[in-house]
Structure 1
Amino acid sequence: MIAYVTVGVDDIALAERFYSAFLPALGYELEEYQGDLSYIPPVQPGQSSVSPDFYVKAPFDGRPAGAGNGTMVAFEARNQSQVRDLHAAALAAGGNDEGQPGFRASYGPNFYVGYLRDPQGNKIALFSSNPDEPGRDG
């Protein structure tokens, strides 16, 4: 099980604006620690975490952050409408479009996804594969 995912950024304030535009709507709570951002899924007393934490940090080596080619972090939304809404919110908060929300022929008939780049260039996917919604063939 993945415990956490970290992306590197050079501008924490810009990254906070971008990630706070959609992660709270997916249930993540923001915690700041020593100038870095930690987006943590809430855990009810007596239960263990079901989703990985998501950390946004300046690189430890002090060199500029860089986005990995082929590296992407995907966040699951409740439905197709939420994918569209959160994709738009992330764009308005400084993100760049990497693929408008919609179905992709390469994936299953219910996989609805929108792609973004954060202000640093890290690739993010917002997706839903809710079987109760119409699929691309329906």
Structure 2
Amino acid sequence: MIAYVTVGADDIARAERFYSSFLPALGYELKEGPEGLSYALPVDLGQSPVLPDFYVKPTFDGRPASGGNGSMVALEAQNQEQVRNLHASALSAGGSDEGQPGFRTAYGPHFFVGYLRDPQGNKIALFSSNLNEPGRDG
């Protein structure tokens, strides 16, 4: 199980604008600190954490942050409409388009996905595989 994901950012305020445009809609709550941004799913008192957490931090070595070539973080939305809405919201908040929301022939018939880059260049996928919605072939 993945416990957390961390992406680097040189401009934390810009990164917060981008990630806060869609992570709260997926249930994540933001905790800001001097070490960067920590997004976590809420947990009732006495319950174990719900994973994964999502962190946006400056680099530890002090060199500029960069998006990894071939690395991507995928976040699951509730449905196709939410994918469309969150993709648009993230673009308005400083992201760049890497693929408009829709079906891809390389994936299963219910995999609906939109791709983005955050302001630092990290690749993000927002997807839904909701079987209660029409699929690519339907």
TM-score (norm 1): 0.97
Aligned residue type for 2:101? P
- State the partner residue of 1:27: 27
Aligned residue type for 1:32? E
- State the partner residue of 1:3: 3
Q: Please state if 1:124 is matched with 2:124.
A: yes
Residues 71-97 of structure 1, C-alpha deviations (whole Å, 9 max, x = no match): 000110000000000000000000000
Q: How does 1:70-81 map to 2 (within 5 A)?
A: 70-81=70-81
- State the partner residue of 2:41: 41
Give the Cα–Cα distance (whole angstroms) in 2 for the partners of residues 128 and 25 of structure 1. 14
Give the conservation status (yes or no) of the 8 Å contact 2:6–2:55: yes
Give the conservation status (yes or no) of the 8 Å contact 2:42–2:50: no
Structure 1: state its 5+ residue gaps.
none
- State the partner residue of 2:86: 86
Give the Cα–Cα distance (whole angstroms) in 1 for the partners of residues 133 and 107 of structure 2. 16
Identical residues among aligned pairs (%): 77
Aligned residue type for 1:8? G
Give the Cα–Cα distance (whole angstroms) in 2 for the partners of residues 50 and 35 of structure 1. 21
Structure 2: state its 5+ residue gaps.
none
SS of match in other structure, 2:121: coil
- State the partner residue of 1:61: 61
How big is the alpha-carbon RMSD for the aligned residues of Structure 1 and Structure 2?
0.9
Deviation of the 1:34 alpha carbon: 1.5
Aligned residue type for 1:28? Y
TM-score (norm 2): 0.97
- State the partner residue of 1:103: 103
Aligned residue type for 2:61? D
